[in-house]
Structure 1
Amino acid sequence: MKTAVWIVSSALLAITTSAIANDFRFTGEATSPDGQVLYQEHHRVDGTCQEGVFRPQEHHVDYHKPDGSEAFAHKALEYDLSIIRPAVNFVQPDFSETMKIAYPKPATLVINWDTPAGDSKQFEVEYPDNTVVDAGFDNLVRQNWQRVVAGKSVDFRFLGPTRGEHYGFVLEPARSDKIDADHVVQIRPTGMVLRFLVEPIVLGYNENGALTDYYGLTNIRKNQDANYTAHIRYSVDTYPDCELTP
């Protein structure tokens, strides 16, 4: 009898675990403004379904040249503390560049950056709760999905990791002849000076809340002094078993 109970309990546990644990996989192809394929991104997001909505825990990205089987760069993100402020570990060996973002104490993050020029820089940054870090912008969109589909805007702070500072930004509806998607939004700086220096990033999403397009400055280097500006088109390989948006 005990054996039968143990078998049933184990089976229920396995079913429950498989229902809770999920992954979300998608692929992106980055092209230059003139249509040249620059690189591909392979994304794997491991997470759980909580109250019917996917909650990311770890996110791994491998970057490949069009004809390359080995990744030329890699990024790992952990969403333990917040889905809009992941811990970041990014490496781009071709330029001897690494960047790590960690959260050693509440409301404070630390950036350790080994630059392509061979310098090492460290920043300690205090931040408010609406601060977004790196790919956390994607979760910011989904977190505010009802506002997005209603055409409303969302104000937030966005970390500039190479400057060790966060800046005022807004997520808002947009129109673009570069992107054809169910929902098109942009994120742009709100400060007067930064608005002249930084072009908005335009994003496309499908009805499921999955990113389909990214048009703007990327984190992949074109050379030692500049990063690529690219149009990245995404396709979903595997959806989680629950909804991406609340």
Structure 2
Amino acid sequence: MRSVSLLLLVGLLAVDANGMNAVGSAYSVEDGELRYREIHRCSSEGDRCTVEYENPEGELFARKVVDYQDSLQAPSLEMRDLRHGETLTVAGGNEAGVVIDAGFDHYVRLRWEQLVSGETVRFAFLVVGRQQPLDMVASKAAAESCAQGRMCFRVALDNWLLSRLVAPIWLEYDAQSRRLLQFRGVSNIRDAQGRSQQVRIDYRYPESSPEGSTS
């Protein structure tokens, strides 16, 4: 069951790729300590993004490259863990309707009106390390559980039994700009001992010009 929960979260750490730069600070849910930072840089067209992962000391330990040229909701990607010399890849645009990794953030905006109106959205989600997609379900959170000016969503496995054993993902978006502001759940980044970790990731969007290239 632990492996299912880890694979479930790999692709949901994504931000707006419309030529925007962003920084995500991941804090431990248990003790509130900073665990790592994500630095997102996208091309001016938003069709290619690089995410660099740094430890609290500012040292780079992982890098992910996401290519949206063939599909916004099903990009291709390469994830490198520099600590262990491990590289994982996923080919994009493999099947109509499947959501891949960071493409989930685009998928939320594509389905925004449905979600905001209270509809439950079901989709197939392919993550690094799996050959077959997972059946997922996303829904709008109760208004009283979401801060003013934000739109909150709950994402879980679309399986009655597994959804009770694996904690859902909590996402908070700015209600106007539709940018991801906060993620809560199991991180796709393991700690230095190789253990999974529950994190809260706060995203901010520095007002700076996007880089023309992320290679």
Q: Structure 1-normalised TM-score?
A: 0.69
Partner residue, 2:126: 159
| Matched AA of 2:206 | D
Which whole-Å CA distance do the structure 2 matches of 1:42 and 1:223 have between them?
Answer: 19
1:46 aligns with 2:15: no
1:191-218 deviation line (CA, Å, top 9, x unaligned): 2343134221110000201000000112
1:26 aligns with 2:26: no
| Matched AA of 1:163 | R
CA distance 1:64–1:172, change in 2 (3 Å):
same
1:185 alignment partner, one of 146, 153, 160? 153
1:198 aligns with 2:195: no
CA distance 1:220–1:176, change in 2 (3 Å):
farther
Q: Percent identity?
A: 30
Preserved contact between residue 174 and residue 185 of structure 1 (Cα < 8 Å): yes
Deviation of 1:96 (Å)? 2.7
CA distance 1:239–1:132, change in 2 (3 Å):
farther
Partner residue, 1:231: 200
Deviation of 1:98 (Å)? 1.4
Give matches, 1:53-64, under 5 Å.
56-64=46-54
Which whole-Å CA distance do the structure 2 matches of 1:224 and 1:44 have between them?
Answer: 28
1:65 aligns with 2:31: no
Q: Structure 1 segments of 4 or more deviating over 6 A?
A: 176-179
**Mean Cα displacement is larger for which, 130-139 or 179-188?**
179-188
Larger strand proportion, structure 1 or 2?
Answer: 1
**CA RMSD of superposed structures (Å):** 2.5
* 3-state DSSP of counterpart to 1:220: coil
1:88 alignment partner, one of 64, 77, 92? 77
Total equivalences in the alignment: 190
Partner residue, 1:149: 116
Q: Structure 2-normalised TM-score?
A: 0.79
1:148-182 deviation line (CA, Å, top 9, x unaligned): 33232211011143232212111111249986461
Preserved contact between residue 171 and residue 188 of structure 1 (Cα < 8 Å): yes
Deviation of 1:240 (Å)? 8.4
Q: Unaligned regions of 5+ residues in structure 1, if any?
A: 1-21, 49-55, 109-126, 242-246
The structure with higher relative contact order (CA 8 Å, sep 6+) is: 2
1:36 alignment partner, one of 33, 36, 50? 33
